[in-house]
Amino acid sequence: MPAASGRDPFMADPPGFRRNDADSEVGPERRSAPRMPRWVKVSAIVAAILIALLILVNLTGFGGEHGPGRHAPGEKQEQGHDPSRWDHP
Amino acid sequence: MTVSPRIRKLLLTAHITASVGWLGAVAAYVALDVTATAGQDVQTVRAAYLAMDLSVRFVIVPLALAALVTGIVQSVSTAWGLFRHYWVVVSLLLTVVATLVLLMETQTIGDLAEQATIRADPRGLPGSLPHSIGGLIVLLTTTLLNMFKPRGLTRYGWRKQHEQRAQLAS
């Protein structure tokens, strides 16, 4: 966006300057609160599925030992740097 | 909060540098991670684990924290706000989650590097590919969100917009 237009060239698409008709929420009038956009709903569903899969993998142990606690410093003293923890079958 | 255009450009430069730097550093980390996980040469695998540890502690974590902080400052100092637009909220959420997972993984990567040094053959170590590839996908997503800025006002943003219009009208 050219600086001569008077807008900040580093903020190419500031909310108040959108010209897209689909941007009804930034239009001159809107009496009711805007609905959640479809892309947010789809993203939320995808994120929920991914989180559910991660929980499932952790619960079933399919993904193996997981989490930062698996190498906690205290564990080293107890297990004496047991290298077999990371040995693949 | 309003800042002068010069300061805003400086903040934006800092944010872009930290964010894109983070993305690039993670891409380099993935290359090291693949080498550590699938490499056949013992010395190369050992070196990869050590490089992973150093890059995480001295490059990736500082860049992640810088990207998060500059992103928040950038949002609150411009008309976008932090909670007014869905793309900003989603971007913030992804950045916070990615930073938290990274901070939790830092200890694990340090332990892997230690094991790689101790062991005669470090090729059995598991690496951290699921996290590094997942992190790369999250960072690419936030980059796309920041570039395309998909439309969508939150209820809070809509309320604020109405308040501002009412003030202007009066």
Question: Three-state SS string across B96-150, please?
Answer: HHHHHHHHHHHHHHHHHHHHHHHCCCHHHCCCCHHHHHHHHHHHHHHHHHHHHCC
Half-sphere CA count of A12, side-chain side, radius 13 A: 5
Residue B34 pLDDT > 90, yes or no?
yes
Instruction: For A12, name the nearest residue in chain B, comparing CA atoms only.
Output: B147
pLDDT digits (tens, 9 = 90+) for B132-151: 999 999 999 999 999 999 99
What's the average model confidence in pLDDT over B21-33? 98
pLDDT score for A3:
37
- The answer to whether B16 and B63 have CB atoms below 8 angstroms apart is no
Chain B CB contacts of A33 below 8 Å: 155, 158-159
Residue A84 pLDDT > 90, yes or no?
no
Nearest to residue A75, comparing CAs of B108, B125, B88, B147?
A: B108
pLDDT score for A87:
58
Q: How close is the nearest chain B Cα to the Cα of A15, in Å?
A: 6
Cβ distance A83 to B115 less than 8 Å, yes or no, reads: yes
Residues 6+ apart with CB under 8 A from A86: B112, B115, B124, B125, B126
What pTM was estimated for this model as a whole?
0.79
A15 vs B80, B119, B159: nearest CB:
B80
Q: Hey, of B85, B131, B153, which one would you mutate to test binding to chain A, going by the most A CBs within 10 A of its CB?
A: B153
What's the average model confidence in pLDDT over B122-135? 94
Chain B CB contacts of A72 below 8 Å: 107
Cβ distance A81 to B115 less than 8 Å, yes or no, reads: yes
Q: Is the ipTM of this complex over 0.90?
A: no
The residue with tokens 């500082």 is: B62
